[in-house]
Structure 1
Amino acid sequence: MRHQKKTFFLLLGMTLLPLVSWSQQQPLTPIRTLDEALKLAQEKSPSLRQSKERALKTQQTIHQILAGRKPQASVRASYTRLLNGGSGFGGGGAAGGGAVQNPFPVLLQNAPPGAQPVQLPAASRAEATPTPTPPASSGGFGSGIDLNQQSVSLSISQNLDLAGVIKLANQLGDLELEVQVLDYQRLLMDTKYTVRSGYYGLLRTESLLKVSAAAVAQSEEALKVARSQFNAGTVAQFDVLRAQTQLANNQQSLISARNQVQLSKNAFANSLGVDPGTPVELAAPTQMKEKEPLPALEEAKLITTALAARPEARQTEISLTKAAKNIQLYGKGLAPSLAAVLSSTYNPNPAFISNSTTGSLSVALTVPLSDGGASKAQAEAARSDQRAAEIQKEQFQHGIKAEVQQAIIAVRDAHERAQTAWGAVEQAREAYRIAQVRFREGVDTQLSVNDAQTALTQSETNIVNARYDYLTALARLDRALGKE
């Protein structure tokens, strides 16, 4: 009962949430925050909307099954014209239901010619009284009956579900509905992880664009210094050429980074289920702290949490229950069935009976003797499904455990790389500053400045990747744990 109530409210939320928030979201409204993106994806995601429709369809199927428990009623009205009513049942008669009845039957006289002999008068006795001839009848049996016959009948039937087939089918429907709701939850978790990873991926590309822009600015400044030094005669033209080459390479990276941002925005909007042209203007996120502590990652505890919370784990349990109930259901293929039928007919002008209203109550018991082995085959197939469900349960448990373990490794890896990158980027900045000073003083070459700048750009790229790898790994861990 608890699961059924939870399923009902989850399904109700699935139905109402998009309807409530649909009108609040304006088309082509810029996407700025992660919360806005998550809300939009929950409303517009095609996979979530299709999953909701599958759950609603399953609910209607359950209603269809439950209809078998309720009385079935029907009303029938008819009008009949007795075409051979002139002679009743003694007339020309109809050959059968499909034959054409003769509306003009051959009517013969009741007394054939010559049936009454001539009586001669006798003188010795009184004049004999002739025997009167009876008048010819205008028709046979049924003469005078109204040829227009109307009737209205009401029939109510009730399946008594003697074998409990409808009850089992209803239970299977409830289980299937719970599977559909759990599948919606699974897709919702996948969607949220996709949105989070896409959000962090877009922030990554924007951060890398800033790194590329900074590298171009540094190269332009280095080229300016090299030309100044060359004009002063303190460096060779080779240093100017190296500075120009470095600037061109960094400009190439900047162009690629700028286009990658546009591609990421387009892909991010499309992943939300909205127009890919929807503007995306993400707010600057909270930066990862240099000494941010690693969260507690107790593997055994997290695996236990995941097995209890993941919708996939619950779905495997339901699949086993469904298989067991299918075995019971198919085992009832030869079970007896019992039905009661109550009917009543009203005829305002009955032709051959005295009562205008008639009624009947019947109870029918049906006992199948053989179905050719179909029920046995279906039960065996259900047992095969049960064994497959057991294999699937074990497979899903292993898969959930593997996802948790991999997510833990990814979090630790990104955290360690981020902590290392913090120190490396500070060292690279200092090395670049020293290389610039040495070049201006004429004790080093432009090649050293280029190498220092390249190392700095790589260090800044590493810290950006480590930061967003860490955030993405945390999102993956939440998904592996079944957090909504």
Structure 2
Amino acid sequence: MRKQLLAGGFALSAFLIALFSFGQSPSPTERPTASPTPILVSTSTPTPTPTLTATISPNESGTVSVPSTLGASPGISPSPSATPIAVQAAALGESDLGWSEKGAPVFRLDQAVVTALAQNPTVLQALEEIRRTKGVIISIRAEALPQIGPSFTWGWTDPNLRQNATGLTTFSGGGGGGAGGGGPGVGAIKNLRSDIAYNVKVTGSQLVFNYSTFRAIRGTFFQRDSAYFALRNTVDQTIANVKTQFYQVIVNRELIVVQEESVNLLESQLKDQQNRFEAGTVPRFNVLQAQVQLYNQIPQLIAARNAYRISVLQLAKTLGLDFNPARGNAAPLRAVGHITYIPRKIDLLAAIEEGKRNRPFLKQARANVLNAIEQVHVAIGSWLPTVNTNGGGEWLSSEFNSSFGDVSKGWLTTVTGSWPIWDSGMAWGKIKQQRALLSESEITYDDDVRQVELEIQQAVSNLAQNQESIQATEKNLETAAEAVRLAKARLDAGAGTQLDVLNAQVQLTTAQSTNLQALFGYNSSLAELNRVTGMQSTYTEQFDSIAPHATKRSTYYTGSDVDARGRPKRNAGFQTTTTTTTTVSEQP
């Protein structure tokens, strides 16, 4: 029995020795040389002193940041960083971003909005449009106000021309008419008229009645109101654009951190596999696989840096910042802040009604409708008479003396009127045109109401989608971070494979990017919701000083219970009546 056990043990030992010899790595003389490690330019900010890396549990922050460990011990896997992504993004330097932000103006979100409202070209153009409409009001109103002006005429005629025009007259003397008498006397009649003539008038004109002019003046006030509401609409759009672009800059900066973390981990994995390969514990395939994964990740980091720079340039353009040649390729600004998630409950029906009442977009459409009504009356005025009056004083020089004391002076008064009794249908044609334009403006208003409803529903839907995405990705972040930790631990213990670590890291990078995009989508959707509901009052109050008084009246109430002209609807409210008719055919 002992002999059998001894023989069996000896045979088992021989089998294990043979198996171990078969599984050994090749000799150093036969080992191929591994490819060089790809070098990533500036994956982290260089500092003169070493940075201490603390360890955290994967569920402490929801993200895992892995620094470069090219100089670390080959047998130790890098530990996750305790620094949140937002803090790491704020600490990125020139080598990480691809340009220098030193000396660039720093903007927070509120500062960026205020700067855009002061310098954005679209806002400035809207302000100039208000000034233009005020000029239109002045010019049209002047047609109905008195107009006074002097006129002066002065003329000089050569006396020779006046004498030739008068001619000569021959007459005889009073003595005897014999041969010894005096000869005939020839005398010329002297021209006593003055060679200088002048005329001075001071006249004034006043429009007494013109229906078209009076209604045109009313129309200019609605044009002014429309320009003001266009400004408010532009301001709301600019605020939403600044917020969205500002959030995009912050997200793109944090995405750089995510991509750097992934690259750093892949670098450490490549170094670890090279060390294991040199020790003969893994085949060369593991090294090549790590290299391919790293090379595939580096372009994504490069693209993230470029996306960040482009988003900064777009924000600078929206803020109205000019290009500074002295800075060259440096950043025009630096956005400071981070994206937060603050849940917000939205009542769709209340939001739609609030949007209808607050949106300057609808109030501008209402002003256009009211202006179109006035233009119809302007066309009707072509049928009515026009009455004007003129009056003033005149100073006329004397024909025989140019002295101002001998002038003739007096008053002039003229009343003129006209009434186009028959114009071959010209006035009627104008009326039909303006009525058609009025109908178009009312149709546009109704469509704008539906557009507001659509925009609010879209914003609420996008907000709900991003809110659900945030909740889903936050849970996935913890799971992905834990998966990376376990995969690395299994690899260090020899129970896992390198592919498990690489796949887990890819999933973590995807989860972090998805979470950041969801945060950006939520905040940008919130900014859009504030725009479409007209809730940007925090920033638009500074334009209240230029608001016409008429814009604050009930004339521009645009709730659901009024039509395009502001008249109460017959069937106001959200009630909908549906009538269904069913026809039944009897078969013979």
Deviation at 1:109, TM superposition (A): 3.1
- Structure 2 residue aligned with 1:66, among 115, 119, 141? 141
Native 8 Å contact 2:154 2:196 kept in 1: yes
* DSSP-derived class of the 1:365 partner: strand
Quick check: 1:229–1:440 contact (8 Å CA) kept in 2? no
Look up the equivalent residue of 1:79 and give its one-letter code: W
What corresponds to 2:319 in structure 1? 272
Question: Which structure 1 segments of 5+ residues have no match?
Answer: 1-27, 87-100, 121-129
2:391 is equivalent to residue 342 of structure 1: yes
Answer yes or no: is the 8 Å Cα contact 1:270–1:276 preserved in 2. Answer: no
CA displacement at 1:348 relative to structure 2: 5.1
**What is the aligned counterpart of 2:188 among 129, 135, 138?**
138
Match of 2:282 in 1: 235
Aligned to 1:370: 422
Q: Which residue of 1 aligns with 2:434?
A: 382
Code of the aligned partner of 1:52: L
Compared CA separation, residues 386 and 429, structure 1 to 2 (3 A): same
Separation in 1, partners of 2:116, 2:489: 52
8 Å contact kept, 1:55–1:181:
yes
Counterpart AA for 2:493: E
Is the aligned partner of 1:35 residue 2:110? yes
**Alignment length, in residue pairs?**
424
Partner of 1:57: 132
**Which consecutive residues of structure 2, in runs of 5 or more, have no partner in the other structure?**
1-102, 325-330, 537-588
Question: Deviation of residue 320 (structure 1)?
Answer: 2.0
Residues 42, 48 of structure 1: 8 Å contact kept: yes
**How far apart in 2 are the matches of 1:119 and 1:30?**
119
Residues 359 and 265 of structure 1, relative CA distance in 2, 3 Å threshold = same
RMSD: 2.8
SS of 1:182's equivalent? helix
Residues 158-216 of structure 1: per-residue CA shift (max 9 Å, x gap): 112x1333321111100001111111111111111111111111111111101001111
**1:284 and 2:345 are equivalent in the alignment:** no
Structure 1 counterpart of 2:378: 329
Which segment drifts farther, 63-72 or 376-385? 63-72
Structure 1 counterpart of 2:153, one-letter code: S
What are the within-5 Å matches in structure 2 for residues 171-190 of structure 1? 171-190=218-237
Letter in 2 for 1:195: V
Deviates more, 1:172-181 or 1:150-159: 150-159
Distance in 2 (alpha carbons) for counterparts of 1:262 and 1:286:
18
Q: After TM superposition, give the deviation of residue 319 of structure 1 in Å.
A: 2.1
The one-letter code sitting in structure 1 at the alignment partner of 2:372 is A
Q: 1:259 to 1:104 in 2, by over 3 A?
A: same
Contact 1:158/1:341 (CA < 8 Å) preserved in 2?
A: yes
Structure 1 residue 299 and structure 2 residue 348: aligned?
Answer: yes
* Percentage identity across paired residues of the two chains: 23
More displaced 10-residue stretch of structure 1: 385-394 or 265-274: 265-274
In 1, Cα distance between equivalents of 2:484 and 2:384: 87
Alignment counterpart, residue 507 of structure 2, candidates 411, 430, 455:
455
Aligned CA distance change for structure 1 residues 276 and 439 (closer, same or farther; 3 Å): farther
1:107 alignment partner, one of 156, 162, 167? 167
Distance 1:151 1:137, change over 3 A: farther
Find the aligned partners of 2:400 and 2:422 in 1 and give their Cα distance. Answer: 44
> What is the aligned counterpart of 2:411 among 359, 367, 371?
359
Residues 31 and 37, structure 1, Cα contact 8 Å, conserved in 2: no
Give the corresponding residue for 2:72: none
Q: Which residue of the partner structure matches residue 473 of structure 1?
A: 525
- Give the CA deviation at 1:134: 11
Of the structure 1 ranges 218-227 and 204-213, higher mean CA displacement relative to structure 2 is found in 218-227
- Residues 50, 284 of structure 1: alpha-carbon distance in 2 compared, 3 angstrom cutoff: closer
Q: CA deviation at 1:483?
A: 2.2
How far apart are the structure 2 equivalents of 1:423 and 1:367? 81
2:121 to 29, 43, 46: 46
- Scaled by the length of structure 2, what TM-score is found? 0.67
User: CA 1:182 to 1:279, structure 2 compared with 1: closer, same or farther past 3 Å?
Assistant: same
Q: Deviation per CA, 1:261-319, whole angstroms, max 9, x where unpaired?
A: 1122112212222225662212132533xxx53x2211111111111111121122222
Displacement, 1:136?
A: 6.2
2:153 matched to 1:78? yes
Separation (CA, whole Å) in 1 of partners of 2:145 and 2:183: 66
Please show how residues 169-208 of structure 1 align to structure 2 within 5 Å.
169-208=216-255
Cα deviation, 1:208-257, whole Å, max 9, x if unaligned, reads 10100111111122223223333333322222222222222222221221
Q: Which moved more, 1:337-346 or 1:302-311?
A: 337-346
User: TM-score under structure 1 normalisation?
Assistant: 0.81
Task: For 2:374, give the aligned amino acid.
Answer: K
Q: Which amino acid aligns with 1:60?
A: G
* Code of the aligned partner of 1:316: A
1:428 aligns with 2:477: no
Distance in 2 (CA, whole Å) between partners of 1:67 and 1:366 is 20
After superposition, where does 1:388-399 map in structure 2 within 5 Å? 388-399=440-451
AA matched with 1:246: Q
How far 1:480 moved relative to its partner?
1.1
1:404 aligns with 2:462: no
Whether 1:153 and 2:201 are equivalent positions in the alignment is: yes
Give the 3-state SS of the residue equivalent to 2:107 in structure 1: coil
Q: Distance in 2 between matches of 1:483 and 1:83?
A: 80
Q: Secondary structure of 2:149's match?
A: strand
